[in-house]
Amino acid sequence: MKETSLVIVAAGKGERAGGACGTAKQFRTLGGICLWKWSASAGERLYARGRVHECVLVVPEIALDAVHRETFGWKAPFRVVPGGAERQESVLRGIEAASGEYVLVHDGARPFLSEELADRLIDSLTLDCGVIPLLPVSDALKKTGDDRTLVPFPREGLWLSQTPQGFPRKKLVSVLTSHGGGAKDEAEAWISAGLPLLQVKGERKNIKITWEEDFALAESYVQRTVRTGIGYDIHPLVPGRRFILGGVDFPDFPLGFAGYSDGDVLVHAVCDALLGAAGMGDIGLIYPAGDPVYRNIASIRLLADTARRVKQDGWTLEWIDSVICAQEPKLARSLPRMISTMEEVFPEAWRGRLHLKAKSGERVGPVGESHSIVCHSAATLWRPADIF
């Protein structure tokens, strides 16, 4: 097997995408997932198939620890190293930290690295040549002439260069070390050293996020896995307990929920709907009654933890709808407070996606006679199919 390292460079400032005003593009999210993780997860898949033997992530010095922590538990060996001021410097640091006989150098700003493209490149690697994915230019071209007027420019023989670009690693180290700097990609330095370059077919979807508007384009490329889960809960109403519903205290209501926790049926139903959609079991499994940690616990804390776990697994909330079946107290006026209390413990991107309804028990059965309150909930989540 060719020992190949995948080096992902993600140490730039992302200025053209507006990084100077806030977060650099590689730390913004695409499909709810941090941009650099898209390439890293491609690395995981290539490692699982035995196509690369390690990954090196090149990131800004300040992000070293945070990125390193994020790679705990991943299957491929990940090295995280600091980048330099120029792309070429970042690449050099990455390939020096790598150990493979060959190296694939990839932009962390290109989230859609397919296995087919990586395979084409790896299959073409030899100790003599570099290999680069190219695409023919499809638009008509114009060039600014000497007098600033536009003149047509022939597109024949012009190619768009993508990454990953593959090379014998030690040769690339020496090429980049002796190159004057400022190379837009490795192939540029490789060619100017007089070395041969093979080409493979690039992919239109393998875009580099460069400008702000590229994020919207990339979002439209994300394939989604969408799942819906349901939740249900019932608790008896008894005197001498507080009545807490949707995290909101109703001190004037004389009854409260019997239960091991505070018995907040709405929060429990919502937790179960979320866990069901994420395929993560239910609250009884994760926060078992009988464990002293959860005795009389405010269930809103369980919701905060559930949302954290679900998000951690890559899911983004699309919508939650719930119905509370209660004869009393009258709840309609309190629904907005319950929504805001519950949304407060959600990740920011999940807010504005929780809907509540209240229904009376029509004075029939245990709900209608105020012996219990019942809640039903449905949650829809999605996550990028390309990653998980």
Binding site for Mg ion (CB under 5 A): 12
Q: Which of 6, 7, 10, 131 touches ligand CTP by CB under 6 A?
A: 10
Contact call for residues 160 and 135 (beta carbons, < 8 A): yes
Give residue 73's region: left, alpha or beta (phi > 0; psi -120 to 50).
left
Interface stretch with ligand CTP, choices 106-114, 248-256, 306-314, 377-385 (CB under 6 A): 106-114
Residue 359, beta-bridge partner list: 325
Of 277, 269, 279, nearest to 246 by C-alpha is: 269
Q: Is the peptide bond before 154 cis (omega within 30 degrees of 0)?
A: no
Binding partner at 314 among Mg ion, ligand CTP, none, C-beta below 5 to 8 Å by kind: none
Q: In the chain, what's the furthest Cα-to-Cα distance?
A: 88
Contact call for residues 210 and 109 (beta carbons, < 8 A): yes
Binding partner at 43 among ligand CTP, Mg ion, none, C-beta below 5 to 8 Å by kind: none
Length of the chain: 388
Question: Within a 10 A sphere around the Cβ of 246, how many other Cβ atoms?
Answer: 26
Interface stretch with ligand CTP, choices 102-110, 191-199, 289-297, 360-368 (CB under 6 A): 102-110
Instruction: State phi, psi for 65 to the nearest 5 degrees.
Output: -65, -45
> For ligand CTP, how many residues bind (rule: CB under 6 A)?
22
How many Å separate Cα 149 from the centre of its chain?
44
Distance CA(272)–CA(251), nearest Å, equals: 26
Which residue has its beta carbon closest to Mg ion?
12
CB of 285 to ligand CTP, least distance (A): 40
210 belongs to the binding site for ligand CTP (CB under 6 A): yes
Instruction: Output the six-digit token pair for 14.
Output: 């992302």
Binding partner at 108 among Mg ion, ligand CTP, none, C-beta below 5 to 8 Å by kind: ligand CTP
Interface stretch with ligand CTP, choices 104-112, 220-228, 234-242, 324-332 (CB under 6 A): 104-112
Q: Which of 2, 16, 242, 301 touches ligand CTP by CB under 6 A?
A: 16
What track of x and - describes contact with ligand CTP for positions 17 through 56 (by CB under 6 A)? x--------x------------------------------
CB of 15 to ligand CTP, least distance (A): 3
Contact call for residues 230 and 276 (beta carbons, < 8 A): yes
Q: Which of 44, 107, 262, 264 touches ligand CTP by CB under 6 A?
A: 107
Tell the burial category of 48 from Cβ atoms under 10 Å away from its Cβ (0-12, 13-18, 19+).
exposed
For ligand CTP, the closer of residues 28 and 87 by Cβ is 87
Q: Which of 43, 100, 108, 314 touches ligand CTP by CB under 6 A?
A: 108
Residues that bind ligand CTP in the complex, under the rule CB under 6 A: 9-17, 26, 58, 83-87, 90, 107-109, 208, 210
